[in-house]
Amino acid sequence: MLDVVWLIPALPLAGFLCILLFGRKLGDPKAGYFATAMVAGSFVVTLGVFFDLLSKTAEERHHVKTLFQWVPLGSAHIDLAFLADPLSITMCLFVTGIGSLIHLYAIGYMHGDPRFSKFFLYLNLFAFSMLMLVLGSNMLVTFLGWEGVGTCSYFLISFWHEKDSAATAGKKAFVTNRVGDWGFMMAMFFAFWAVGSLDYSAINGAAASLSVTTATAIALFAFIGACGKSAQLPLYLWLPDAMEGPTPVSALIHAATMVTAGVYLMCRISPILNVASSYAPTIIAIVGAATALYAACVAVAQNDIKKVLAYSTVSQLGYMFLAVGSGAYTAAIFHMVTHAFFKALLFLGAGSVIHGMHHEQDMRRMGALRKLMPITAATFIIGWLAIAGVPPFAGFWSKDDILLAAYDKNIVLWVVGLVTALLTAFYMTRQVIMVFYGEARWHDAHEEHGAAGDLGVSAHGDLEPHESPWMMVTPLVVLAGLSIVGGGLNLPFKESTERLALWLEPVVGVHTSTTAKLPLALVAIAVGLVGIAGAYAVYYFKKVKPVEPKILADAWGYDRAVSAFMGGPGRKAFDGVAWADAHLIDGAVNGSGELVRGAAGQVRKLQTGNVRNYAAAIGASVVLLLVWFVVIRGLL
């Protein structure tokens, strides 16, 4: 079974090719079902590989399947090869599992879109790239997937490319990611010259013999790459804008799978990180904690239902890097998995709301939707409890693991993590109340809008939110179930219940802690409940006036500052280069041309055709030569 690991990415690739050729014929909704089937098939294959791995001893859970030599580099060569081990298969399981649910959901969500089949074309290509990313047995295959998901993300964010904001957001995502890719490439170059190979097994195997400087360089450059892909400070900018894409895209790419690639990469090269200079993991932990807090603050003041979730994603990814920096790789992966469950659920729930509200995204125009969209509301509430850290939902367990590791690393990091947890509980409660509770605000909002021509609005202009069709609701229910029980993957009670840690141990090692877990867990629960209670007081009982400062709504003004810099001095500098090219460099060229022409013009005037002038010139020259020889050279 292990040898068919190549089928995992091959099926979505086949789906992509088929839709490329026959997509228009298949049409809406057949193209969607076909694409879903391909990813689901991939999930089945992954399950097979998973059980095969499970049946082996821990040491044997490492299988490389080489397809062909891709780029020969002298004596070393880079193969197109896949690595099946506990880490990659864990990633594949949730990528294909959640991927097929979201594909299914998208059939309902994208129904009626004129570019329906094209959407699934990109979605399959994305699934393929993502699977290449996680299955690659060397850094270059991962990079192939890495850039592939970036490209698909670009296509999908600007899917509705007639909208200028969508087109701009897509471009911004790609270019910002490329800044990170620079770091990824640097990491590859360092690794290649130090190790002579880009294979993970060779790099990680050589970790112990690497110099500390080299290991630090590889780790930190890879982290720059991770910051781009996983939307960490200072490169997170593209992710909130990425919400311009259709909601299934936000759920799949910008919450559950692609944005976790950076965390995956760091875990994949964790042996390097372990031998790097100690400031390297500290930097990672600080960036992670800072991003978590930063984005959580911003999420408190957002009114767009998807923007809240976008900043929440940035914040949760920060948690994962906090875990990586604290050396708790299992906790990072654990949170990645549970986050994939509940954040995909929340995004799909938000999509269902947006669908039901006929493309309204402003939470101030929602309210009381739980009666009209009961399943969406119920599942969304489960997602909320999971992310808010309420036991026994999934998020509680994984977040608790991270906080424990942060506590071991440095108490300040732990406090930042706790404050973030409080804010998370607060803004998610705020969102749930604004969307599903309180009074219905969509009627007046609609009149105020006067959007009579809007699709799905009846002739009288009444907007009636409705529950979504089955293919959209089913994924919600499944994901809600996973959000409830997901914590069971890694329960901290005794060693044998820490299944994920045991499973991943051959790849990322173990993180041992002697800190008493229970008191920390109780503090975390208390903090979460305070956050929830606070939000209830403000938004449900309206006892306290909401504090939503403009600076937070503006995301601390960072995005604006960067845009202002790019549009101002940055653009001027670029213009300066173009000007210098046209006027200085080319000016010098044309200038010397003019000079030659001018000089030639002057010289031409000497050619008068007048014999007396020539005779005079000859005479004068003879005299001058005589003077030269006689007076200066001293002849005679």
Q: CA dist 93 to 1, 131, 153, 388, 439, Å?
A: 15, 10, 21, 25, 41
Nearer to other proteins, 85 or 360 (CB): 85
Separation of alpha carbons 455 and 473, rounded Å: 21
CA 210 to each of CA 197, 223, 269, 272, 273: distance values in angstroms, whole numbers, following the listed order: 13, 18, 13, 9, 11
422-to-100, 477, 555 alpha-carbon distances in Å: 33, 27, 18
Strand, helix or coil for residue 71: strand
**Nearer to other proteins among residue 13 and residue 445 (C-beta):** 13
The answer to the question of residue 505 lying near other proteins (CB under 8 A) is no
Say whether residue 390 binds other proteins (CB under 8 A): no
Q: Which stretch binds other proteins (CB under 8 A): 201-209, 337-345, 396-404, 486-494?
A: 201-209
Structure tokens at 328: 């708790």
Q: Does 209 bind other proteins (CB under 8 A)?
A: yes
Residue 175 touching other proteins (CB under 8 A): yes
DSSP-based helix, strand, coil % in the chain, nearest 5:
75, 5, 20
Among 505, 508, 373, CA closest to 432: 373
For position 621 contacting other proteins by CB under 8 A, the verdict is: no
> Does 72 sit near other proteins (CB under 8 A)?
yes
The number of residues that bind other proteins (CB under 8 A) is: 62
Which of residues 130, 131, 134, 140 is near other proteins by CB under 8 A? 140
- Amino acid at site 224: I
Amino acid at 7: L
* Coil vs helix vs strand at 155: helix
The nearer residue to other proteins, 495 or 575, going by C-beta atoms, is: 575
593 binding other proteins? (CB under 8 A)? yes
Return the residue of 19, 40, 63, 157 that touches other proteins, per CB under 8 A. Answer: 63
Tell me which amino acid residue 282 is: T
If one asks whether residue 164 binds other proteins (CB under 8 A), the answer comes out as yes
Q: Per rule CB under 8 A, is residue 161 in the interface with other proteins?
A: yes
Q: Which of residues 79-98 bind other proteins (CB under 8 A)?
A: 83
Per CB under 8 A, the list member of 62, 268, 343, 399 interacting with other proteins is 62
Residue 495 in the binding site for other proteins (CB under 8 A): no
Of positions 18, 22, 196, 390, contacts other proteins by CB under 8 A: 196
Q: Looking at beta carbons only, is 62 or 409 nearer to other proteins?
A: 62
Residue 236: CB minimum distance to other proteins, A: 17
**From candidates 4, 17, 167, 378, binder to other proteins by CB under 8 A:** 167
Based on the shown chain and the rule CB under 8 A, indicate whether residue 453 belongs to the binding site for other proteins.
no
Q: Give the Cα separation of 220 and 267 in Å (integer).
A: 13
Residue 453, classified by CB atoms within 10 Å of its CB into exposed (0-12), middle (13-18) or buried (19+), is: exposed
Would you mind telling me the total number of residues written for the chain in this entry?
636
**Euclidean distance between CA atoms 146 and 97, whole angstroms:** 20
Cα–Cα dist 595/614, whole Å: 25
Q: 548-587 mask for other proteins (x: CB under 8 A)?
A: --------------------------xx-xx--x---xx-
| Closer to other proteins by Cβ: residue 33 or 160 | 160
- 3-state class (DSSP) for residue 68: strand
Residue 103 φ/ψ region, left for φ over 0, alpha for ψ in the -120 to 50 degree band, beta for the rest? alpha
Q: Does 509 engage in binding with other proteins (CB under 8 A)?
A: no
Kindly report the CA angle at 559 between 555 and 561, in degrees rounded to 5?
115
Choosing from 7, 93, 113, 201, the residue that interacts with other proteins (CB under 8 A) is 201
Candidates 185-193, 306-314, 424-432, 491-499 — which segment interacts with other proteins by CB under 8 A? 185-193
Single out the residue of 11, 35, 110, 147 in contact with other proteins (rule: CB under 8 A): 147
Task: Please answer whether residues 285 and 326 qualify as being in contact, where contact means their C-beta atoms are separated by less than 8 angstroms.
Answer: yes
Using CB under 8 A, list all residues that contact other proteins: 62-64, 66, 68-76, 83, 137, 140, 143-144, 147-148, 151, 154, 158, 161-162, 164, 167-168, 170-171, 174-175, 178-179, 181-182, 185-186, 188-190, 192-197, 199, 201-202, 205-206, 209, 574-575, 577-578, 581, 585-586, 589, 593
